Chains A and B, each alone.
Chain A
Amino acid sequence: MEKRVVFNGKLLPYLLLAPQLLITLVFFYWPAGQAVLQSFLVQDAFGLSTEFVWFENYQVLFSKPEYYKSMLTTAIFSSLVAFFSLSIALLLAVQADRHIKFASGYKTLLIWPYAVAPAVAGVLWLFMFQPSLGIVSQSMRVAGFEWNPLLRQDHAMMLVVMAATWKQISYNFLFFLAGLQAIPKSVIEAAAIDGARPARRFWTIIFPLLSPTTFFLLVVNIVYVFFDTFGIIDAATQGGPAKGTETMVYKVYSDGRSGGDLGGSAAQSVVLMVIVIALTAIQFRYVERKVQY
């Protein structure tokens, strides 16, 4: 789609584009290029000489068990968060879609966690589940369950999953509600006349018609878990205990911080870039974003 009527101007359009292009080139392309370049280089211990080594950094990276472990952690973390936040949000959206009283009030009461910073969400959940003084972990101890996310990897994972899910429900809820409201009521009424019960109507009509929304949200949720949960992990577990909650993004950060292996850290960044580009491509290629409001 193009405009038929345009303005004339030789220099003006370039001047208008200049600020954004300048910032983009300096802070996006230049560092991304640096990361790609660095991933092919090896620096000696004193930083005096560098050598071009082709894919050696990648070979080293993919021969390390820790890297596969962080991949596995990321996979577990994102599937759990996506599953729980999507199903809880769908359950709530279906209830709110029933034209009940106060539907908009419920909406307001459910969407605000979107605005809470991931790091703050991590701290809130950490406080409730802090082994010695947390309000939830104490009741768990009374019930005979020894809870300690500072020592147990599975407990730490549950903690970050809960915090990340809590934050993402609001977003999914909004999009599910919009998706539900776009389904024509006549279709549902027709099924009801044919004698389909609410549960059957949900699984045979509503759920299939929602699938574009669900798939879109699935991709968005995975991107969210990959990149936006850094604050949650850093605040709640710092990737621990014993790297039990270290996702790929967190690993780039903690490896880069401890310094040393510049090439390896750059190779990790490049792998992540490839993953984001793939996810974005999927989103644009396959997702029908026809959510109606």
Chain B
Amino acid sequence: MVERRRLLDFLPHLILIIGVAIVAFPVYVAFIASTWDAATISNGSMPLRPGPHFAENYYRTIFVGTSSSTREPVGTMMLNSLIMALTIAIGKIAISLISAFAVVYFRFPFRMTAFWIIFVTLMLPVEVRIFPTYKIVADLNMLDTFAGLTIPLIASATATLLFRQFFMTVPDELVEASKIDGAGPMKFFVDTLVPLSITSIAAMFVIQFIYGWNQYLWPLLITTKDNMQTIVIAIKKMIVTQDALTEWQLAMATAILAMLPPVLVVVVMQKLFVKGLVETEK
């Protein structure tokens, strides 16, 4: 603070409180809607305070499923989302760690070619090559499988670049010391390099978990069976456009459940999240 003025002390708080309120408002409305019954919402008389149907709506959403559009209970879908997000996050980290290790700690023919092959994929988001990729997954008989859902999203340059950058900062003396101790490359990797990278790995995990959980277009194409659906694509199917049939209270309960895990991850692991976000953009 350079100078003190009463107005300047109060104004930032006011602006930030308004900002926080605007940011939180849509979620608040969704939560309120998830505690009322269908009739109150559909005749447009929903008050802005919690209603009496909280337990009933969430029980029905998680264990029973909604009647009209999706027959599968949301509990199953959350499990699918969890498996997908964990596989993508762990898979990405695993293959990126070893490929970055190979690129940094070995000298071999076509090393830079391999690096560039990986690097260029930064520029090809799945959205631009969606149908050819879908066709390959279909040809490999991987539709409606977790392998089809996750493997095509596992390869990405982001994590490899991040780990490469981190490995570059690891002092050479550590390699020399392990060599003197007679340790081979894999022993060095497991006993020295991975423990040193643990913060980077955790930060990467937070970012990739959110990325995996929030996938939309890919699961929409790959899953046709109800029991393979993820929670994010289920919400959209619950909303019947231009129709009074939408059970908004259940759709909103599903929306709250769909955002809960990734939002919790961000709030609880805020430091790692910020670190991951910043590092993946470098």
Residues of A within 8 A of B (CB): 1, 3-7, 9-10, 12-14, 16-17, 19-21, 23-32, 34-35, 38, 88, 91-92, 95-96, 98-100, 106-128, 132-133, 135, 138, 150, 166, 169-171, 174-175, 178, 188-189, 192, 198, 216, 220, 227, 230-231, 234-235, 238, 249, 252-253, 256, 265-266, 269, 272-273, 276-277, 280, 289, 291, 293
Q: Mark B24-37, 1 if CB is under 8 A from A, else 0.
A: 11110110010000
In-complex Cβ contact of A7 among B26, B168, B188, B220 (8 A): B188
Closest A residue, CB atoms, query B21: A109
CA distance A293 to B24 in the complex (A): 27
Q: Which of B59-67, B71-79, B248-256 participates in binding chain A?
A: B248-256
- Note all chain A residues with C-beta closer than 8 A to B12: 95-96, 98, 100
Give the complex CA separation of A217 and B207 in angstroms.
18
**Candidates A7, A123, A124, A276; contact of B123 at CB < 8 Å:** A276
Q: Which of the candidate stretches B49-57, B194-202, B209-217 sits at the interface with the other chain?
A: B209-217
Ordered by A's residue number, 13 sampled pairs between the chains whose C-beta atoms are within 8 Å are A6-B107, A13-B108, A34-B135, A95-B11, A113-B23, A118-B214, A119-B232, A178-B278, A227-B125, A227-B127, A252-B131, A276-B123, A293-B274
B145 proximal to A (CB < 8 A): no
A21-B114 contact given A28-B155, A88-B19, A91-B15, CB 8 Å threshold = yes
Is A120 touching B232 in the complex (CB atoms < 8 A)? Answer: yes
Contact yes or no, A32 B124, CB < 8 A: yes
Name the residue of chain B whose CB is nearest to the CB of A115. B262
B22's nearest neighbour on chain A, judged by CB, is A166
Establish whether residues A123 and B255, one from each chain, have CB atoms under 8 Å apart when the complex forms. Answer: yes
Whether the pair B26, A166 counts as a contact (CB closer than 8 A) is: yes
Q: What are the residues of chain B within 8 A of A138 when measuring CB–CB?
A: 44
Please state if B278 and A291 are interface contacts (CB–CB under 8 Å): yes
Known: A115-B265, A120-B232. A256 touches B98 (CB 8 A): no
Given contacts A119-B236, A174-B277, contact A31 B105 (CB under 8 A): no
- Provide the bound-state CA to CA distance between A177 and B183, in Å: 45
Bound-state CA distance A127–B121 (Å) is: 37
Given known pairs A17-B99, A91-B15, A110-B20, the reply for A98 and B1 (CB within 8 Å) is: yes
Contact residues in B for A21 (Cβ distance below 8 Å): 99, 114, 117-118
Residue of B nearest to A280 (CB): B123
Contact of A124 among B98, B255, B278 (CB under 8 A): B255
Name B's interface SS: helix
Question: In angstroms, how far is the closest chain B Cβ from the Cβ of A46?
Answer: 18
| Chain A residue at smallest Cβ distance from B44 | A133
Question: What class of interface size applies to chain B in its complex with A?
Answer: 35 or more
Contact at B213–A117, with CB atoms within 8 Å?
Answer: yes
Chain A residue numbers with a CB within 8 Å of B83 are: none
Which 5 A-B residue pairs are closest in the complex by CB-CB distance? A31-B132, A117-B214, A16-B102, A115-B262, A95-B12
Chain B residues in 8 Å Cβ range of A114? 210, 266, 277
What is the interface of chain A mostly: helix, strand, loop, or mixed? Answer: helix
Rounded to whole Å, the gap between the CB of A7 and the closest CB of chain B is 4
Kindly state whether residue B154 has any CB partner on chain A within 8 Å: yes
Contact B127 A126 (CB under 8 A): no
* B90 is an interface residue with CB less than 8 A from chain A: no
Q: Is the CB of A117 within 8 A of B259?
A: yes
**Are B270 and A252 in contact, CB atoms less than 8 angstroms apart?**
no
Closest to A131 in B: B242
Chain B residues near A28 (CB, 8 Å)?
121, 124, 129, 155
Chain B neighbourhood of A120, CB < 8 A: 214, 232, 235, 255, 258-259
Given A20-B118, A128-B25, A276-B128, 10 more contacts at CB 8 Å? A12-B102, A28-B155, A29-B117, A107-B270, A112-B266, A120-B235, A128-B26, A174-B274, A276-B123, A293-B275
Given the known interface contacts A126-B239, A273-B124, the answer about A27 and B133 at a Cβ–Cβ threshold of 8 Å is yes
